[in-house]
Chain A
Amino acid sequence: MSALLEMKEIEKSFNGSPVLKKVNFSVEPGEVHALMGENGAGKSTLIKILTGIYPKDGGQIYWNGEPVTVDNRKDAQALGIGVIYQELSLIPTLTVMQNVMLGKEQSKFGFVNARKMKKKVTELIEKYGFNVKADEVVETLTIAQRQTVEILKALSEESRLIIMDEPTASLSAKESDALFGIIEQLRKDGVSVIYISHRLEEVYRLSDRLTVLRDGVREAVLTKEQIIPGDVVRLMIGKELSEATASNSLRKSDAPVRLKVNGLTKKGVFHDISFEIHEGEIVGFAGLVGAGRTEVMRCIYGADSYDSGTVEFEGETLAKQITKNIRTGFGFVPEDRRNQGFTPLLSIEKNVALTNYDTLAKSGFVKAAAEKKLGVEMVDKLAIKPGDSQIPVGNLSGGNQQKAVLAKWLSRDLKLLIVDEPTAGIDIGAKDEIYKILESLAENGTSVIMVSSDLQELLRVSQRIIVMRKGGIFTEFSSGRITQEDVLMAESGILTKEGKADE
């Protein structure tokens, strides 16, 4: 029996640091093969090599036993490899049929043969029982339906292998179930699926086999019977690392409560969120993408509205208005730094000043000298490089951009700072500096809420960790030392330590 796909001893380095070290990976016909690993384990790189986005440094790809080269997206397509991207790549204003047939329109004398194309697409839809119609416009579809259009697109190219990267990240439970149904169908039809997901329970449910990558090395290949949740997590994290990065002893604070959230609910997004944050405390919020962490924080800050529940700040009901909350002593470092964190064309000085005009201006006029002084002060204090407050923030490196965003808030008297994925895309040195900044803030009495998907980071900085799952609070770790394993399992709905489950 020959495998549909075989990748042998694949190697890849970026700037001299190896990302994939002689990785072997194979997929049988009609198999659902899960690919797992932490962020940075090499999953995406492996997939990008398979689809011709990155060239490989070493190794060989075999398709149906034949050695093949995949230099670009077209080569992959010609072999029969389809990819369903996380960021969907459909054209919203076109119909399902037009999207599916894009770039391979059937035509006669230069005129498209719409009827023929529609027939083809409709046949596919009927064959798999998809919940879309050929002439629906894509922008009117739900995310789940759009995903099925992506799958249709792959099927219409006669793909034998479909790669799905975190396909359920933005789907509801019901929609996910429908997707699993489709995957079952594909399997029956002999189409193979590479399934990348952080959601352990999905992986257990769907996969025939599972490959674990860690630090660019293939850690294990497990068959369905061998898949045991705890084992997989341990393989992903690695035993030594897991112990070396265990948390400090977590503790409950006895300082006065600063923020009290009670029963916060936004329909379809999160429900019944209740927690307290004390003065001078750093609380981590863990959870998978789509668990609702960012959404909760945005509502507390006043950036979005919620349906019910209360938010109290030092005993008083909090305004639903950003400007007022800032005056109360709130700070907010958003998840999407580039689009929400700063104004790229403006200098560090002017970005910092943006949140400080209540003190930097008098009757509408800016006190230019004070503005300048504050800019210089913050650049020094946070060691923003290069050390010139006049440089546009858009020209700084990621870590320094994030420091500039932090500077907007550190220049104020902060009582509560919410940071969302504070170190995403930042190098290790800058990460360390940012942790120190957060820690010194807390020492001086500021409460810090840190939403993060980086487990090491959560364990290192947090005094308590609240785990969110599917729009609710799943559990809270507030005593003893815990490991990445504990958090990761909780994110997937498995409790390893004492605590209360919500079901």
Chain B
Amino acid sequence: MNKKMDIKAILGKSQRLWILVAVMLVLTVLQPGVFLTAANMKSILLSISVYGIMVCGTIFPILLGGIDLSVGAVAAAAGAFAVTWIVDHDFTNGAVIVGVLGGLLLGAVVGLIHGIIVTRFAVPPFLITLATQNIVYGVAQLLTENNVIACMKPESFAFLGGGRLIGIPFSIWIMLFMAIISYIILGRTVFGRNVYAVGGNAEACRLSGVRSRMVIITSYVASGLTAALSGIVLASMNRQAIAKAAQGYDNYVLTALVVGGASLMGGEGSIQGAVWGAFLVGVISNGLRLVGVASDYHGIVKCIVIVAAVALDAHVRFKKSGLQKSSSLFKKKAKA
């Protein structure tokens, strides 16, 4: 019951999510008995699970008013590291543990570097993560020597992205688990509170005794970690590592976050919203396929719907209250 209330509250707060409901209704009518089935829902969830995992960490820098453009590259490199390690060490379970942990460590280190460079040298996050995107992509190429490296064994590795638990793909479980963790961190911990606060006004936080620097560094580490995790899941799902594995995922992640109500100016957004946003993207792709639209059009249609969703939301919010409008105006001024 509580959960239902929650959903209602979210829908009430963020009009753009009504778009999701509308799209789903239309698809249900257009494709009766096909769209709104458990099997199809499962396949949508599976299709979004990889960047769904990413979103759970990338939301932190976004809430700070920063950005992490390296997540796709980090995912590819982490997947490549795990796979090459497993392949080089005879596909043992021990190799899986080291490979996965090593991949995660790689993501955390990249995040740490981002955090330190952003806080110590005041390099804009956009710039530094764009640079590391290319550097880390290079690392992924080096690791894979620009080949597709297959990894069909062992079962323990394949389970991460391909196994099932109670009939539901394990990657969906990971996504849900990560979403819950993120939700708890953002909603219940001091760190989570500080992320919103620093994103809203870093200087005020510093003067209030918040260790803004630590908050920022930790956020980028979280982003690197979840990116690495999603890359490992992706490699397991595909049973192969390839440098181009997660190309374009940076965009999916940003789309999911923005559609889900996160402000790129920082301070605003929620993990629930981001997961809904990811789901909307998944639903649209799925619907287009079901309706039989040629895949060449998918990108175009998807982006039109997304822009419409965000524009509608902004418009409704603008109309609804003068206060909201002035507060966002004020915010822009404060940032400048």
A residues bordering B, Cβ < 8 Å? 301, 303, 322-323, 326, 332, 334, 338-346, 350-351, 353-355, 357, 361, 364-366, 368, 392, 394-395, 408
Does B196 belong to the interface (CB within 8 Å)? yes
Please measure, in the bound complex, the distance between the C-alpha atom of A341 and the C-alpha atom of B206, giving whole angstroms: 10
Indicate if the CB atoms of B209 and A322 lie closer than 8 Å: yes
Query: In chain B between 179 and 210, which residues have their CB closer than 8 angstroms to a CB of chain A?
Result: 188-194, 196-197, 200-201, 203-210
Indicate if the CB atoms of A354 and B330 lie closer than 8 Å: no
Indicate if the CB atoms of A338 and B330 lie closer than 8 Å: yes
B residues less than 8 Å from A364 (CB atoms): 189-191
Least CB distance, A378 to chain B, in whole angstroms: 14
Indicate if the CB atoms of A354 and B193 lie closer than 8 Å: yes
Least CB distance, A403 to chain B, in whole angstroms: 15
Indicate if the CB atoms of A353 and B330 lie closer than 8 Å: no
Least CB distance, B316 to chain A, in whole angstroms: 18
Indicate if the CB atoms of B190 and A346 lie closer than 8 Å: no
Please measure, in the bound complex, the distance between the C-alpha atom of A297 and the C-alpha atom of B102, giving whole angstroms: 48
Known: A339-B203, A345-B267; 16 extra A-B contacts, CB below 8 A, are A303-B206, A322-B209, A323-B211, A332-B207, A334-B204, A340-B201, A340-B207, A344-B327, A346-B197, A351-B197, A357-B193, A365-B188, A365-B190, A368-B188, A395-B323, A395-B326
B residues less than 8 Å from A365 (CB atoms): 188-190
**Interface majority SS on B: helix, strand, loop or mixed?**
helix
B residues less than 8 Å from A392 (CB atoms): 327
Does B89 belong to the interface (CB within 8 Å)? no
Indicate if the CB atoms of B327 and A394 lie closer than 8 Å: yes
Does B22 belong to the interface (CB within 8 Å)? no
Q: Which of B190, B192, B204, B323 contacts A342 (CB 8 A)?
A: B204
Indicate if the CB atoms of B209 and A355 lie closer than 8 Å: yes
Least CB distance, B183 to chain A, in whole angstroms: 13
B residues less than 8 Å from A343 (CB atoms): 196-197, 200-201, 204-205, 267
Least CB distance, B260 to chain A, in whole angstroms: 16
12 A-B pairs with C-beta separation under 8 A: A334-B204, A334-B207, A342-B204, A344-B330, A344-B331, A345-B196, A354-B197, A354-B205, A361-B190, A366-B188, A392-B327, A394-B331
Least CB distance, B91 to chain A, in whole angstroms: 39
Q: Which of B208, B209, B268 contacts A345 (CB 8 A)?
A: B268
A residues less than 8 Å from B207 (CB atoms): 301, 303, 322, 332, 334, 340-341
9 nearest interchain CB pairs?
Answer: A343-B200, A326-B209, A394-B327, A343-B201, A345-B267, A357-B190, A345-B200, A323-B209, A361-B190
A residues less than 8 Å from B197 (CB atoms): 343, 346, 350-351, 354
Does B304 belong to the interface (CB within 8 Å)? no
Indicate if the CB atoms of B203 and A340 lie closer than 8 Å: yes
Does B38 belong to the interface (CB within 8 Å)? no
A residues less than 8 Å from B326 (CB atoms): 395
Nearest CB to that of B266 among chain A residues? Answer: A345
Please measure, in the bound complex, the distance between the C-alpha atom of A334 and the C-alpha atom of B201, giving whole angstroms: 13
Supposing A350-B193, A350-B197, A354-B197 touch, asked if A339 and B204 sit within 8 A by C-beta, the answer is: yes
Query: In chain B between 301 and 331, which residues have their CB closer than 8 angstroms to a CB of chain A?
Result: 323, 326-327, 330-331
B residues less than 8 Å from A344 (CB atoms): 200-201, 327, 330-331, 334
Most A C-beta atoms less than 10 A away, residue of B190, B196, B203, B208: B208
Least CB distance, A405 to chain B, in whole angstroms: 9
Query: In chain B between 102 and 159, which residues have their CB closer than 8 angstroms to a CB of chain A?
Result: none
